[in-house]
């Protein structure tokens, strides 16, 4: 109850700050919003060891909160959300922006996803300071706004990070090169998340750069990010997830493209995550037992490709995505022993097909229907221990609106 109260108070403060600034400067307060109402369930899964259930996690894909995953009961919690964006132009290039979002996966507790001051230094260079969206992906700026894309959800094999926002500063330089609009963004800050299965994790000394360009039919984007990851002991396993102390370096890179060729579109994005030391997970702990966690994730590679065709108000589409984490042995708990580890040199992986259709039945609303089929492509070590726990199909129907 204390956490919910604190969140609610922070949300009220956010609204109050933006409203106060707007009122003081006699500037107009602009309010925009979005909402998604989505219901879904799993419709098939692979035989699993006794006492376990197959689920499909969406918000984020490895969250420990049961409300963020579909199972064989119809649920509207994982992907139903509502958001309000408040902005006020104070003149002379200065503005303030806040975005409040409430999602079913977090019991609809309102959170301030954005709260920053923006200043246009000139027509090409912009500075921002405050809480902003981490620009990991092509769709980062509008991941919460379902109306902005053709899926019910972008493929969670790729877009599954538990970190959505950071507190810090950013600078963006925009220019034109021939018929290309280009931008270069850099940022510096910190972030934390307690939504994942590892408990509270912080990203310190977080920084990144994003280069993008677009013309009338093609959009290209590349990014690189790095941070010092700080985490508490893995709950229940009695050992730290990193080799030396509680902080290790990590990096993340992505490349994406989207082409619009008349009514036909095709897009793709590839991401790669790596750690200075392997990252121990609950899976490796369970397999390797009480002798110590001596295997963990070395690198994770994800990619997706999507295509569709716009036929008036209808947009049928199909997508394929994959996620693979490579495990290796290391001295994770600092005891001077590097065990062979039953997961060493193995891969934990999954592949997903998405088949769906979007129907724009209203200028501000879209109906979406989606079937998702995931296969577990993990090495035999994982399958022997856990069955094909990622083998699951889902069906979901949703309505997205903007206002």
What pLDDT shows up at residue 364? 98
In the chain, the number of structural domains is: 1
How many whole angstroms separate alpha carbon 394 and alpha carbon 320?
15
- Residue 235's CB is within 10 A of a number of other CB atoms, namely 12
Domain span including residue 216: 2-402
How many whole angstroms separate alpha carbon 130 and alpha carbon 119?
12
What pLDDT shows up at residue 201? 77
Radius of gyration of the chain measured on its C-alpha atoms: 22
CATH of the domain at 199: 2.40.160.10
Q: Which of 82, 101, 95, 173 is nearest to 130 (CA)?
A: 95
How many whole angstroms separate alpha carbon 71 and alpha carbon 62?
14
What pLDDT shows up at residue 163? 85
Give how far Cα 162 sits from Cα of 156, 192, 218, 298, Å.
Answer: 11, 9, 29, 18
Report DSSP letters for 185-211, one per residue.
EEEEEEEEE--BTT--EEEEEEEEEEE
The set of residues, in sequence order, having a beta carbon less than 8 Å from that of 71 and lying 6+ positions away, is 41, 42, 53, 54, 55, 56
What pLDDT shows up at residue 8? 39
Would you give per-residue pLDDT tens digits along the chain (403 residues)?
333 434 433 444 444 555 544 454 457 899 999 999 999 999 986 666 555 667 888 866 555 567 888 988 999 999 999 999 999 999 999 999 999 999 998 889 898 999 999 999 999 999 999 999 999 999 999 999 999 999 999 999 999 887 889 999 999 999 999 999 999 999 999 998 766 555 577 889 999 999 999 999 999 999 999 999 876 554 433 444 554 446 778 999 999 999 999 999 999 999 999 988 766 655 444 444 444 445 667 789 999 999 999 999 999 999 999 999 887 766 555 554 445 555 667 788 999 999 999 999 999 999 999 999 999 898 877 777 677 778 899 999 999 999 9
**pTM for this entry:** 0.85
How many whole angstroms separate alpha carbon 26 and alpha carbon 201?
41
């Amino acid at each position: 109850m204390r956490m919910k109260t604190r969140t609610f108070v922070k949300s009220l403060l956010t609204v109050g700050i933006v409203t106060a600034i707007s009122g003081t400067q006699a500037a107009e307060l602009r309010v925009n919003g979005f909402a998604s109402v989505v219901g879904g369930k799993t419709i098939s899964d692979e035989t699993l060891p006794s006492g376990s259930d197959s689920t499909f996690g969406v918000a984020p894909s490895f969250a420990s909160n049961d409300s963020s995953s579909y199972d064989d009961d119809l649920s509207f919690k994982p992907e139903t959300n509502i958001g309000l964006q408040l902005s006020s132009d104070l003149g002379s290039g200065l503005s303030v922006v806040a975005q409040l979002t409430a999602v079913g996966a977090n019991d609809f507790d309102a959170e301030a996803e954005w709260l920053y001051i923006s200043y246009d230094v000139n027509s090409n260079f912009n500075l921002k300071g405050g809480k902003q969206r981490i620009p990991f992906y092509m769709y980062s700026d509008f991941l919460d706004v379902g109306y902005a894309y053709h899926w019910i959800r972008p493929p969670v094999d790729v877009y599954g990070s538990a970190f959505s926002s950071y507190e810090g500063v950013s600078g963006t330089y925009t220019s034109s090169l021939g018929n290309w609009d280009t931008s270069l963004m850099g940022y510096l800050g910190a972030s934390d998340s307690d939504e994942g299965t590892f408990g509270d994790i912080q990203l310190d000394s977080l920084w990144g750069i994003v280069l993008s360009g677009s013309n009338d039919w093609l959009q290209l984007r590349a990014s690189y990010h790095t941070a010092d990851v700080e985490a508490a002991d893995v709950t229940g396993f009695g050992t730290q997830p990193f080799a030396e102390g509680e902080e290790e370096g990590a990096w993340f890179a992505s490349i994406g493209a989207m082409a619009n060729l008349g009514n036909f579109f095709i897009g793709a994005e590839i991401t790669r995550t790596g750690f200075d030391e392997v990252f121990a997970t609950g899976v490796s702990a369970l397999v390797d037992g009480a002798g110590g966690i001596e295997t963990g994730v070395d690198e994770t590679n994800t990619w997706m490709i999507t295509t569709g065709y716009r036929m008036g108000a209808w947009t049928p589409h199909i997508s394929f995505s994959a996620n693979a984490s490579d495990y290796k042995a290391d001295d994770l708990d600092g005891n001077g022993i590097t065990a062979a580890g039953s997961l060493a040199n193995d891969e934990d992986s999954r592949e997903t097909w998405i088949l769906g259709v979007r129907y724009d039945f209203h200028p501000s609303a879209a109906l979406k229907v989606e079937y998702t089929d995931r296969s577990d492509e993990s090495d035999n070590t994982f399958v022997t221990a856990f069955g094909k726990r990622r083998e699951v199909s889902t069906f979901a129907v949703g309505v997205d609106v903007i206002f």
